[in-house]
A and B are shown apart, each in its own frame.
Chain A
Amino acid sequence: MAEPVITSPHAESKRPFLTEQRRSRITAYTFISPFFILFSIFGLYPIFFTFYLSFFKWDALNPMKFVGFKNYDLVTSDPTFWISFTNTLIMGLMGTVPQVMLALLLAVLLHSGMTKFKKTFRILYFMPNITSIVAVTLVFSTLFGNNGMINWMLNGLGLDSVAFNSGWWGVKIAISTMVMWRWTGYNAILFLSGLQSIPMDLYEAARIDGANRRQQLFSITLPLLKPFIIFVSLQSTIGALQLFTEPYVFLGQAGTGSTRQEGITMVTYLYSEAFRNGFFGTAAATAVMLFLVTILFSILNMLISRGAVGDTGGKKA
């Protein structure tokens, strides 16, 4: 921008450097630059700083001390980290797989069955997602409390109380239920918009050819919904790996329960390393590993959902 006119090094071109095209390009980039500038300050810089920080020992107040790969050693040799890793995977599966299926079912129902109150249902579906997670979790904490409503109902049916606050599966069931409640409706809306993008004449043609509802579902709906299924499951996978607020609030009512082994996730582990223990180096190392795990699972997820949906449909995309 500093020099208005620069002649091109190529002798044959006598055109000025700032051609009309170039100028409009510069204008365009300048216009979108706020995003990139802000992103590099608040997004990119922290990312690189995290990598850098993972090689140092630091409590955020005293000077940083270089320790090489020691932080990674400490994290990978900590059994709690591996518990948090398996917890994240288990709760991820428990929270997303049934949830995505349920969302798809709800979307199909809403799309085909219901004609009345469609808008009302859509709003109802979406409500859980815009409610504050902390508020949601507090409500669910009451339901899943030791003397809460769910145990009361179980007792009423003649069953024993479940230790939702400390049982290995109890905690996971409680947390996955919160995740499901929050995301099912949201994903159903995404699926619904996918369903609405499928042209109706395909179904008409299929009906004329004598295809039944089941055949229509597997040969038209699912294959054409594939991009949405991939998107939803990818998003859910990433969301599941970043699970934090639900276990943190649900188990952390005294500010202490969040590191309970039954419900600790990778992000709660990271958080407590940094902000409770003051070990920012190991927290950064955890973040880097979480990043790698997320990439790995995203790739896996793409491969699986591509394969699975591709096989059920006759058409390869």
Chain B
Amino acid sequence: MPWRLEFDSSRIRTPWWTPIVSVALALVLCAIFIYANGMNPVTVYSKMIKGAFGTSYGITETLVKAIPLLLCGLGIAVAYRISVWNIGAEGQLIVGAIAATAVTIYFPNLSGFWSILLMLIFGVAAGALWGLLTAIPKTHFGVNELITSLMLNYVALLALDYVTFGPWKDPQGFNMPGSPVFTDAQSLPVLGATRLHIGLIFALVAVVIYYLMIRFTRWGYELRLIGANPNAARYAGIHINRHIIIVMLISGGLAGLAGMAEVSGVSHKLMQGISPGYGYTAIIVAWLAKLNPLGLVVTSVLFGGLIVGGFSVQTIGLPSSISEMLQGAILFFLIAGDMVTRFRIRRGA
């Protein structure tokens, strides 16, 4: 053979442009499907971009969607650092939202400050507990965290159905499922007349803390060590199980915070479809950012735009699931791209 593909295992770092190329190729692939379905892909994409970034309303909506993506993506990134594949952010977000709503049901007359503080504590604690339910089976029983965390997503979703159809259903809700609407004291402050809430600050603060913790603390050093070589870390006396539990607590807690921010800042009541799959999208957000904090900010805004853009194509008769399809395709090209760049074409046998 005159030409040969050779795998170069020394190339560990992938070039900076692979995420960009992956996104571009995913757009092309989906364009083909859209075209085959009898629509003009240029119209569809420009509609999506205009919907997400074209107006000031679109931009604030995109940022509103970026908040839970950033929080969940950050949590997922922390766990992925030591190869703990948490895909349960969706469920952790939902239980966070349920727990925050519990505060409004059982302590209805707190002042604004105490109400929000208690909702924060409950939301984070519930998410962290849900993360613990994934961590303990893994560390003590050797159960694959992918299965556990995903099963718990369905359990959380059913729990949401139970409270919104059952005990917490709003008596003044015209028989629609959902909790009573939150009071002003139970709602996060928003920016002016937009829906952009203070959760954005929570998320950005969390990003800075993540960066500082990973970069400058002993804990962050140990995480990086486990991520680079688990066996070496074990020989160095690092308790990997303890780290698994800690990262799952953080991962779940951040998703729980996202859930609290969603109910308190956006929907102002607990209801069906509190998350259009934020927990799943956040997996791609974290991977596309290569677990890098600044990258996480960029990718969560990008994917927030993808969700808003997905909604905006509904006006031309397309389902919003088109954005999910794009997300899956992006992930495919991303993992392929990570590996393709490690091959080299060589001449000769």
The reply to whether chain A is a binding partner of chain B is no
A contacts, CB < 8 Å to B: none
